[in-house]
Amino acid sequence: MEGNPMFSSILMLVLMFAIFYFLLIRPQQKRQKAVQQMQASLEKGDRVITIGGLHGFIDSIDESTVVIKCGDGSRLTYDRSAIREVVEKASERK
């Protein structure tokens, strides 16, 4: 008894899409949501690392930019989206 070849083709396509969704799309969406949440919760005094590897403390922050104070006292302005990771929250140090 043979199955319908059209049905098995559609089933394979659905199965491939499900595998791609759970292995590629869904984890990427979770990472993107976590990064957006981290960038939205930035505050003055947080110790951060930028995408380019600069380490420093947030000196001031507004809607779209962040001013980072580096080790030698210089201040550099970056887009908020350039922050890769928060190493230490300001509230944790107090």
Q: Each residue of 62-88: pLDDT tens digit?
A: 999 999 999 888 999 999 999 999 999
CATH code of 43-94, in short, is 2.30.30.30
Nearest to 70 by CA among 42, 94, 44, 48: 48
Distance of alpha carbon 7 from alpha carbon 17, whole angstroms: 15
The pTM (predicted TM-score) of the whole model is: 0.72
Question: How do residues 6-25 score in pLDDT, each as one tens digit?
Answer: 888 999 999 999 999 999 99
User: 33-42: per-residue pLDDT in tens?
Assistant: 999 999 999 9
**Is residue 61 helix, strand or coil?**
strand
The per-residue pLDDT for 86 is 94
CB-CB contact of 90 with 43 (8 Å): yes
Q: Please say if the pLDDT value at position 1 is more than 50.
A: no
